[in-house]
Every structure is written in structure tokens, then in C-alpha cells.
Structure 1
Amino acid sequence: MTRAVKLRDDYSASDLRRLAARSRHANAARRLLALAAICDGANRTDAARVGGMDRQTLRDWVHRFNAEGPDGLRGHQHTGPACRLNAAQQAELQALVEAGPDRQRDGVVRWRRVDLKRVIEERFGVSYHERHVSTLLKRLGFSHISARPRHPGQDTGVMEAFKKNFPRILSAHTGHLPKGKPIEIWFQDEARIGQKNSVVRQWARRGTRPRQPADQRYANAWLFGAICPARGKAAGLALPFIGTDSMQLHLDEIARCVARGAHAVLLLDRAPWHTTGKIRLPKNVSLIFLPSRAPELNPVENVWQFLRANWLSNTVFEDINHIIDVACSAWNNLSALPQTIQSIGLRKWAHTGQ
């Protein structure tokens, strides 16, 4: 029988257990515990069992420990072969992917792996398999995701200026209030909830295509929603119609949800029923209109995504009453999750100093 390899003696069993308790590497911790068992006099079979390995593997780790100490027990991750594109070529490819293809030059409106395979070969003289293009893109920090629609008239400069100047905008809308009065930042929006509903992604066995019911009828209701991210508070109404009267009801509901003695500043888009002079604004609410065609500035857009993904999609609604009941239930579920409201709604540009 092969003689057991002697373990270095500059670490005691208690030292090894202390290192195992502090280690952030689970595999290194169990190897340290196996070595600690050896220090306590356990035979190599029992020590290997402590570390969840066989005797030969334990022997290998003893050699590593003797040569490198505790750091040698972490293991070395294999990074794979070096990239065949140099740093400059990788940077050029990264810029090319971010810029997207030119329809006239490249003949496509989005990059596919086969297109990038061709471009890499033409520009850099390196031939990759189409599957490896995905590996290369992930290494460069890309993932295959759906694009979000953007209005062609959107002005990103206006959006950035709004965020940068928001403290001054807020001060201009609250300058008439008594000094020291608490200010709450609220966001408001509406969403159509209807029988022509959406379906969402779900877990399913690989190779299958799960099916969900999808109605083709057109009855719908409107969910008016507002959140105060700093307080984790929500105020919503599910109504069968949209317009000035509905907006008035929602403003009154928001006013009731504002903390006693505080004043709410409500950020919302420029829909006609928001800007009409027929609205009677509650005394504890002021309005700030977001730039046109800038839904990204309104976190309630993300609230709608959350509600649809968890409680509204994959559902067939029987009639308008059923729609309103489900919409109310979904909003009440959200209202019971203040931390989720904060996570979805807090924006650094709006809540600095809040």
C-alpha cells in the first residue's frame, strides 16, 4: 500500500477549521476540514469522507496544500484558450455590435451570428464557428435581449436635461409652500387591461412550446396607478373608462394617500386628460409634466411590466367586471409590497436628498 503523504505541520487542526469558517470558497472549506481531520489523527479514508472525496483526490490536495498552503486549496479555474482576436480587434468588434448594422451595406436590420461570423472573417481574417460567435459576444459583455420600442421623435438630450435640472424644477413648483414642509415625489400613469391579453415567458421543459389561453375579444378597462417610491406607497383605481373625470377621481385618491402634513409632487406625462384646465387640483398635490415621448422617465411603466408578468397575463377575462376585479387584485397585491415599489420606482435623479 502506498504510504500516506505527510501533511505540513505549521497549521494546527484548529487553524484549519478557523480558515474553513472564514473561507468564501465552499470547495476550499471542505478540503480544509478534511485536512483538519488528518491533523486530529483520523485515517485518510475517514478524512476523505469528511471532505466528500476519495483517498486519491485527498492525496492530491495534500500535495497542493504542502506546496502552496491554504491558497492552493481553492483550485484553479480553467479560462480556456486565449481569444484569437487581439485587444484592438475586440474593441473594434464591440463598437461594431453596439452601432448595429447598416441596412444598405450589411443587408440586415440586426446582427445575427452568421453576419458577425462573416464580418469577423472579412475584417480580421479569423474564422469562427457560428456557435463560438455567441461565446465571443458574451465575453465582450453582450447578451441576446429584446429591444424596447422608442418613439422616433424622442430627444435624449431633453430627457437628460430634465433629470439634471430636476432639483430646480422641483423647487420652482414647491417654492410657494411653507419652509420645511415635507415633499413627496409621486409618479402616475394609466394602463389598458383588456380581453386581448398578453402572454409572458415561463419555465418549461427544453424542446417544448408551452401554450396559454389568448382571447381575441376587445373589452377593456383602465388601471390608473401612482406610486411614491420613497414611502413604498401606491394609489390606484380600476375604471371602465378613461378621460378627465377618471383622472379627477385618481387625483383625489392620490391626495388621500399623501402623508398628513406633506405635499405631493406628481410626475406624469402630457396626455390630454392630464393637461386639461378642467382638472380641479387637490390642495396637497402639484403636477410636474415629464418631457414628451419620454416614458423611460416614468417608473410606473415598469410597474405595469411587473403586474402583467405576475398577475395579469395568461388570463382570459369573462367581461368588464372580471377585468376590473383582476386589476384591483393585482394592484392590491402590489400595494402590499412596499419594498418592491421602492425597488421598481426609486430614481436617483428624482430622489437625491429625499
Structure 2
Amino acid sequence: MSATAAAHPERRVELWFMDEARVGQKGRVRHRWWLKGRRPPGVCDRRYDWAWIFGTVRPACGDAFALVLPDVSTEAMQTFLDAFAARLAPDVQAVVVLDQAGWHGAKALHIPETVTLVPLPPLFARTRPSGAPLALPARRFLSLRLFPDDDAIVDTCCRPWNALAAETARIASLCNDPWIKKLKS
């Protein structure tokens, strides 16, 4: 953060965390509360079609941004970074902390001027705060569902994400890791 602030003294530095989540027809079978001695109803699709939620959260204030994209690739990451950079205020430099997935650091990736990518060390990615907001819609709204087509997958991803993104206090709470409080944003 301090290196980015020194490199961009004319801009406010904001700390963001980024992750992806897969949602699709090869659904998740989850635990479900039901009557004792009875098997709960649940459906599981065997088809293989999905979309990916590329999301970033700002724990300091609970702000969030996401795109639902058809795959994970350098092109998808580029689309996400361009859209994310376009929504930033002109005087902001965003420090985006992310894991070391191959498409996050691809040589073909053109990182916008207002974005600085900071990869987490290996195995540290399990403690990243961006995973919780992305997992919540998947657990609560996207499990035990059948999706007839790609449009249904995208629509079903967008509705819970938009509802969650409107609840900035909930996002701030989900991302409330003690080590993040030591960083300034």
C-alpha cells in the first residue's frame, strides 16, 4: 500500500480484494434442514455449463463490484479489470489483492493505470476476505437449483449479487478479518 501511495502521490489509494466463483448446471448439493427421518427434496444437475462471478470487495466501506463472465481466462480477466477501472473515481488508485491464478498474472494482461495487482502468497489465499461475499450467494441462493440455459445462470447469479452489493454493512462484516484492519484504505 505504501509503495503504491508513493508511486501515485496524486491519487487516493483504496484496498480491494478480488476472487472468482463458479456457478452453473453442475450444481452443489448442500446440507438442508428437514423433518427428522425424512429425506429432503433436492435436485442436482449433471450437465456441464457454468458462468463465473468475478467479484471485488472493499472491506473498509463494504463497496463491491462484480461481473458474470462465461469463463476464466486472460480475456475474461481483462474484461473485468477494464470494467472495474472504469467505475473508479478519477483520483483513485486501486490496490487489488488476489490469488495467483494463471489468468491474474498472464503476460497478455494489460493492467489499467488506476489498478495495481498484488498477488497473495501461496496458501494464504484461503484467508482472503473476498471469498466470503462470493460464497454467500452460492450457498444461499444458487444451491439445489436447475438452470435450463446460460441466460438463467447469469440471471440467477446477478440477482443475489446485486442484493448483497446493496448491503454494504453486510459486506464489510463478511470481510472483517483482523489483519485487514492493520492496513489503511
How do residues 42-121 of structure 1 correspond to structure 2 at under 5 angstroms?
A: none
Q: What is the TM-score of this pair, normalised by structure 1?
A: 0.49
Q: Who wins on radius of gyration, i.e. which is larger?
A: 1
Structure 1, residues 189-223: CA drift from partner, whole Å, max 9, x if none?
11111101113333322332212111111111111
8 Å CA contact 2:30–2:144 kept in 1: the answer is yes
Correspondent of 1:317 among 143, 147, 161: 147
Q: Corresponding residue for 1:236?
A: 66
1 CA distance for matches of 2:128 and 2:87?
A: 19
Letter in 2 for 1:329: R
**Residues 242 and 315 of structure 1: is their aligned pair in 2 closer, same or farther, counting only changes over 3 Å?**
same
- Structure 1: runs of 5 or more not aligned: 1-169
Query: Secondary structure of 1:303's match?
Result: helix
How do residues 199-278 of structure 1 correspond to structure 2 at under 5 angstroms?
A: 199-278=29-108
Displacement of 1:253 in angstroms is 2.0
Q: What is the TM-score of this pair, normalised by structure 2?
A: 0.90
Displacement of 1:328 in angstroms is 1.6
* 1:175 maps to 2:24: no
Structure 1, residues 260-310: CA drift from partner, whole Å, max 9, x if none?
422110000111111112211112111110011322231122223211122
Structure 1, residues 86-132: CA drift from partner, whole Å, max 9, x if none?
xxxxxxxxxxxxxxxxxxxxxxxxxxxxxxxxxxxxxxxxxxxxxxx
**Residues 327 and 295 of structure 1: is their aligned pair in 2 closer, same or farther, counting only changes over 3 Å?**
same
**Residues 265 and 351 of structure 1: is their aligned pair in 2 closer, same or farther, counting only changes over 3 Å?**
farther
Structure 1, residues 119-177: CA drift from partner, whole Å, max 9, x if none?
xxxxxxxxxxxxxxxxxxxxxxxxxxxxxxxxxxxxxxxxxxxxxxxxxxx22333211
- Runs of at least 4 residues off by over 4 Å: none
8 Å CA contact 1:300–1:345 kept in 2: the answer is yes
Query: Secondary structure of 2:54's match?
Result: strand
Q: Corresponding residue for 2:133?
A: 303
Letter in 2 for 1:184: E
Structure 1, residues 3-60: CA drift from partner, whole Å, max 9, x if none?
xxxxxxxxxxxxxxxxxxxxxxxxxxxxxxxxxxxxxxxxxxxxxxxxxxxxxxxxxx
Structure 1, residues 226-272: CA drift from partner, whole Å, max 9, x if none?
11121211111111122111101111222133344221100001111
Query: Secondary structure of 1:172's match?
Result: helix
**Residues 173 and 260 of structure 1: is their aligned pair in 2 closer, same or farther, counting only changes over 3 Å?**
closer
Query: Secondary structure of 1:265's match?
Result: strand
**Residues 184 and 281 of structure 1: is their aligned pair in 2 closer, same or farther, counting only changes over 3 Å?**
same
2 CA distance for matches of 1:289 and 1:175?
A: 19
8 Å CA contact 2:4–2:13 kept in 1: the answer is no
Greater percentage in helix = 1
Displacement of 1:349 in angstroms is 1.8
Q: Corresponding residue for 1:346?
A: 176
1 CA distance for matches of 2:99 and 2:66?
A: 16
Letter in 2 for 1:178: P
**Residues 223 and 344 of structure 1: is their aligned pair in 2 closer, same or farther, counting only changes over 3 Å?**
same
Identity across aligned pairs (percent)? Answer: 36
* 1:332 maps to 2:162: yes
2 CA distance for matches of 1:345 and 1:335?
A: 13
Correspondent of 2:110 among 255, 280, 305: 280
